[in-house]
Amino acid sequence: MNTYAIPDPVPLHEPLPHRKTLRAWLVPLSARDTRHALALVALDSVLFVLAIAATVWSAYVPLKLLFGTLAGFIIGRLFILGHDACHQSFTSHRGLNRWIGRFVFLPSLTPYSLWATGHNVVHHGYTNLKDFDFVWQPKTRSEFAALPRWRQTLERVYRSGWAPWLYYLVEVWWLRMFFPSRRYMPTRRSEFFWDCMLVSGAALLWIGLLAMAATASGQSLVVTLFAGFALPFLAWNAMIGFVVYVHHTHPSVEWHDDKSAWADAQPFVSTTVHLRFRPILGFDIGTLLHHITEHTAHHVDMGIPLYRLRRAQALLEAALPGRIIIQTFSWRWYFDTARRCKLYDYERRCWTDFDGCRSSGDGARLR
């Protein structure tokens, strides 16, 4: 096992160390373990197949829906593995990472190359920089007022706290991942097209096998396809929409519209939330999510494998006391955040509600 030393804490009154320094602290935790990675792929792949099969084998509709929802969660676990592979932080072999990424992205119907461009290049390159990082980018009061009424209503639904699934399904997957138009992906690459064809083929095969199973067992085709395909896909969208939202939306998280000010703010630390979960029935939710919520360490160094993120996060929090946003999850906190973080005032550097009233920082109007 690699050993590592925790650097001396950096006082709040001192400048934040350069990103190269922070990454140097994490070097001992960046080693890839190919056997560990392949074991995780095998485990989650088997769990996914079993969960989908259970939606067919179960005789009762409530059980079918339960297993379909569980399958959606397992899709999320597989996606997190692919997320690491896409960052080349999963195994020690670049080509293997690319093929693993494409494979484990299939249940979420995510085209590997399009995700790599939108996530690795745009999101990590310009985290919380307006008009660059598009996922959950908050609008200004004037931008919101200029929207047609139907689009204002949709924005209210998206940011209600109840619709992360709808936001990700429409704004990310449909518009930017699945055969995106030139408006959303001006660059045209052959790999974009073929990766979209690959996930389309996977969807057709998935639907076809479920249809065959429904026919062979004399079950309702509609119920079988909903429980075994549509519900897992919707549950996955809810999971990823929620995770991305809570990673970068918080009353203490800032957005920027000026690139220089954004760079000066050390955005890889200041724009990211470490979300902690209390155990549920003895289960560590962070572990079940493959440590994806240890998110500050991931943004400081994308090369840290998911199976070492917890130690990397602990090191950063010990070395940078008071610098990292740490939030213990509760539904009360989540819906309070959804209530407060509607729009963003880039001049005052604060969140506002839909009326433009300040809802974060000093002078926030709280209810």
Rounded average pLDDT over 135-154: 96
Is the torsion defined by CA of 154, 158, 160, 163 positive or negative?
Answer: positive
272-325 pLDDT, tens digit each: 999 999 888 777 888 899 999 999 999 999 999 999 999 999 999 999 998 899
Supply the mean pLDDT for the chain: 92
> How sure is the predictor about 269, in pLDDT bands with cuts at 50, 70 and 90?
confident
219-242 pLDDT, tens digit each: 999 999 999 999 999 999 999 999
* pLDDT at position 90 over 60: yes
More confident residue, 15 or 45: 45
* pLDDT at position 366 over 50: no
> How sure is the predictor about 3, in pLDDT bands with cuts at 50, 70 and 90?
low
Instruction: Determine the pLDDT at residue 365.
Output: 43
58-68 pLDDT, tens digit each: 989 999 999 99
Specify the length of the chain in residues: 367
Rounded average pLDDT over 137-162: 96
> How sure is the predictor about 177, in pLDDT bands with cuts at 50, 70 and 90?
very high
Instruction: Determine the pLDDT at residue 229.
Output: 98
Rounded average pLDDT over 156-163: 97
The residue assigned the tokens 């090191």 is 315
- Strand-strand pairing, 273-276 and 325-328: parallel
Quote the Cα angle for 218-221-225, to 5°: 130
CB 97 within 8 A of CB 91: yes
Q: Rounding to the nearest 10 degrees, give the CA dihedral for residues 32, 94, 271, 295.
A: -30
Cite the DSSP H helix spans in the chain: 19-26, 34-57, 61-86, 94-105, 112-115, 141-145, 149-158, 164-167, 190-217, 221-225, 231-248, 259-264, 267-270, 285-288, 295-300, 309-319, 331-340
* Max CA separation in the chain (angstroms): 70
More confident residue, 366 or 266: 266
Here the tokens at position 120 are 């690795």
More confident residue, 329 or 2: 329
Instruction: Determine the pLDDT at residue 265.
Output: 80
